[in-house]
Structure 1
Amino acid sequence: MTDNSQPKPFKIAVGEDTLDWINQRVQSARVIPDVQQPEGKEWADGIPSSVVSKLVEYWKASYDWRKVEAKLNATYEMFTLDIAEGDDVINLHFVHHRSDRPGAIPLLFAHGWPGNFTEVEKLLSLTAPEDPTQQAFHIVAPSIPGFVFSSAPKAPGFNVPKIGEVYHKLMLKLGYTKYIGQGGDWGSFILRSIALAHPESCVGIHLNMIMALPPSPLKNPVTLLWLVLRWFTPEEKKRLGRMQWWMSDESGYSRIQGTKPQTISIGLADSPVGMLAWIREKLEALITPGYKWDDEQVITWVMFYLVAGNSWHARIYKEAIPALRVQVLDKRISDKVAFGASCFPYDVGYVPVWWAKATIAKNVVLWKEHDKGGHFPSVECAEVLKADIWEFVASLSKDTQKILKGQAGAKL
């Protein structure tokens, strides 16, 4: 009998039948023509057919999943572990790179949609920084339940706090009773839920997407007055304007996935090129203008959602969003948990620091506003993000740093 109560080494090995089916669908794909858009408005109605056609041709002629699979297996130390949460048991897929450095700190990296665990790749060097005086980290990067190689929940109701519980149980199982977290997109909400539920263990979180409710008129009347009077700097107005633009012009996917996730998932899972168009369109709007996504990387991200073979990439929007206000946004993280933020101008979640202090966290130890970067900083500007993580840890109290550095962790 297999013991699934302990982490098991994992290697990616997508079945030939699945690959054959995907390749056949790609080879026979039909890309419909676009209307002639004015210059500068090519993406106004969604992804241009010319962009899709170019990617499809690359997929047909050059993309080699087996080579990608081998590279992924060589890059990441991956495991799976059964973790019970309520009536569900999730076979959780995760990356775990332990540092050999004395005093390394456990870091939980949480991804979102349309991302995946490979967003952590450029942060893996934190296990052994070139500068031996720099803080080292043990890196843990799970795949959200139902995403990529993590099994899907079997029933509705698997919301952000439940995902947070799975991640927290993983960290404890790995021997990390004290740890910090880093993440954006859904990962930012997952980490906030962990910080709210387990401040004794999750002693610090550093986020790169910040979203908040308006300040309370009873608890924060002055802050609310600033908000009502729109006392924002020009840069704050610009960043808040980008978030408003995203909500008004770019969030149709969220409404679809948040209302009829099964319907949209059947269509996307049955059409590799449909999934490609769905994901690639969002990637375009989430980065610094001019950033070039690598074709192989884009198709690999699409492959992750195809091989998952379930609806949870969409369903998380229905399970999580309706309760997010009560479960996360209405609550302020206690002063027991250090809070840090890296704000990038082309991200789509932002509030000024004074707003965050009133509504998100009591103990804001680091707040950085950068002039470059977007929604995927670990991909687009990893060195900047790494520097912020180091600065965040240096901002923690000496006692907290000492406790974190004492985490030996489990040997796998």
Structure 2
Amino acid sequence: MTGPSGAIVPFHISIPETAVADVQERLRRTRWPEPETVGDWSQGTPLTYLRELCRYWLEEYDWHAAEARLNRFPQFTTEIDGLRIHFIHARSPHPDAVPLLMTHGWPSSVAEFHKVIDPLTDPVAFGGSAADAFHVVCPSLPGFGFSGKPSKTGWGAERIADAWDELMSRLGYSRYGAQGGDWGARITMTLGRRHPRNVIGIHLNMVPFPEPESTDDLTETDRSALDALAGHRAQGSAYATVQASSPQTVGYGLTDSPATLAAWIIEKFQAWSDCVGAPGTVFTNDELLDNIMMYWVPATGASAARIYWESYATAGRYQGPVPVPTGCSVFPVDIYRPTRRLAQPQFPDLRYWNELDRGGHFAALEQPTTLVDELRTAFRLFR
């Protein structure tokens, strides 16, 4: 629920038994297609894998334990620019902690950050220093999770960035850091452009980059990064084109069928993570399903897809320099893997750059200890 405009209202995720019974009945009545005609994921989520995940969801997934996990950290809602915004706000026990705004993307949710919040807020409890502590704020994007669903157009990256700045101000944080990957990276960069006086620095675990006007003097490593980007656009971005052009159409299946939603989301967890083709080597079924629940319970299949309709056309264009101090962590199986040379032009104050040996797009879930270390190292240069 949301209180009077500007009020911060405590929030608790509650999953009614009727909702549990409903998804279980839908899973039982799933009308399955025939198997794919290949022996890998090249035609999408394989039938055998999805049937087993849905069987686990139906027969073994502990809904009460899931609800407790999703409610693990303090949550709130507040109305900003006419829309309810849901967010986690985990304050550090260390008074000099730096406020840190962390933004997720699609097909993720604030559940992606659950492994990193404790070590970020209380580094001493994890063998670190109080000097590295953060107050962590993780909002659900408009149309995602338990944030409100926009009823009118206009909620693109710029408006979200402005809402996030208002959220941090409302929480009493006049100066703060920002972090993100996927859409969270683009929104974090937009925050740095639009609110540089308030943002002490940003950290990205996915690094969008402008393609160079000339390729004459590129190194072999530069060319490999550009080839990887071209390959993603040619073979791995059909989902984005669909959601950018027809979010309402695809939203019917994502809202009505738990099997469809799971297949649509898990395909990306397999393709974009450092899992050697097998999601189970990196993620547990509970981790995957907890994230899916953040889409299924509030029925956000269409509303979450609309961020592509709102912003996808301009996402690949150079938006201008990001003037605030910047740190970048490039994970080897992410969908964008630029060299520092390719990324540098948009970050005039690029203070930290690191290319990791392991990990992919969902860094907070895949390599939480590494991401925490990367954030601590980068923000030591910004504090």
Please give the range of the TM-score, normalised by the shorter of the 2 chains: over 0.9
User: In structure 1, how many angstroms separate the alpha carbons of the residues matched to 2:262 and 2:130?
Assistant: 43
Aligned length: 373
Relative to structure 1, the CA distance from residue 35 to residue 70 in structure 2 (aligned partners, 3 Å threshold; closer, same or farther) is closer
Pairing of 1:113-192 with structure 2 (within 5 A) = 113-124=106-117, 125-130=119-124, 131-192=128-189
CA contact (8 A) 2:104 2:181 kept: yes
Mark the runs of 5 or more structure 1 residues left unpaired by the alignment: 216-223, 402-412
Task: Identify which of 43, 48, 51 aligns with 2:49.
Answer: 51
Aligned equivalent of 1:297, options 263, 275, 287: 287
1:5-404 equivalences in 2 (<5 Å): 5-38=6-39, 42-73=40-71, 75-84=72-81, 89-124=82-117, 125-130=119-124, 131-215=128-212, 224-225=213-214, 227-233=215-221, 236-290=222-276, 291-310=281-300, 311-324=302-315, 329-334=318-323, 337-358=324-345, 360-396=346-382, 401=383
Question: How far apart are the structure 1 equivalents of 2:155 and 2:66?
Answer: 31
1:350 positional shift: 2.6
SS in 2 for 1:171: helix
User: 380-389 or 109-118: which moved more?
Assistant: 380-389
Deviation, 1:123, is 1.7
Distance 1:67 1:354 in 2: 46
Residues 1:2 and 1:368: Cα distance change in structure 2 (over 3 Å): closer
2:96–2:131 Cα contact (<8 Å) kept: no
**Deviation of 1:238 (Å):** 4.1
In 1: Cα distance, 2:284 partner to 2:95 partner: 36
Q: Higher Cα Rg: structure 1 or 2?
A: 1
Deviations 1:213-272 (A, max 9, x none): 234xxxxxxxx54x3343233xx4444433322211111101110101000001111111
Question: How far apart, CA to CA, are the structure 2 residues paired with 1:377 and 1:12?
Answer: 25
C-alpha contact 2:101 2:136 (8 A) present in aligned 1: yes
1:58-97 deviations in whole A, cap 9, x for unaligned? 1121012222102322x2110101111xxxx111000001
With the length of structure 2 as denominator, give the TM-score of the two structures: 0.93
CA distance in 1, matches of 2:52, 2:185: 33
> For the residues of structure 2 that align with 1:372 and 1:144, how far apart are their CA atoms?
27
Task: Give me the TM-score of the superposition, normalised by structure 1.
Answer: 0.87
Displacement, 1:324? 3.2
Question: Taking structure 1 as reference, are residues 395 and 6 closer, same or farther at Cα in structure 2, changes over 3 Å only?
Answer: same
Task: Tell me the C-alpha RMSD between the 2 structures.
Answer: 1.7
SS in 2 for 1:308: coil
Q: Give how far 1:369 is off.
A: 0.6
Once residues 220 and 381 of structure 2 are traced to their aligned partners in structure 1, the CA distance between those partners, rounded to angstroms, is 27
Does the 8 A contact of 2:36 with 2:43 survive in 1?
no
CA distance in 2, matches of 1:275, 1:207: 27
Structure-1 separation of matches of 2:5 and 2:24: 33
Report if the CA contact (8 A) 1:116-1:148 is conserved.
Answer: yes
Q: Deviation of residue 45 (structure 1)? A: 0.6
SS of residue in 1 equivalent to 2:220 = coil
Q: Secondary structure at the match of 1:288?
A: coil
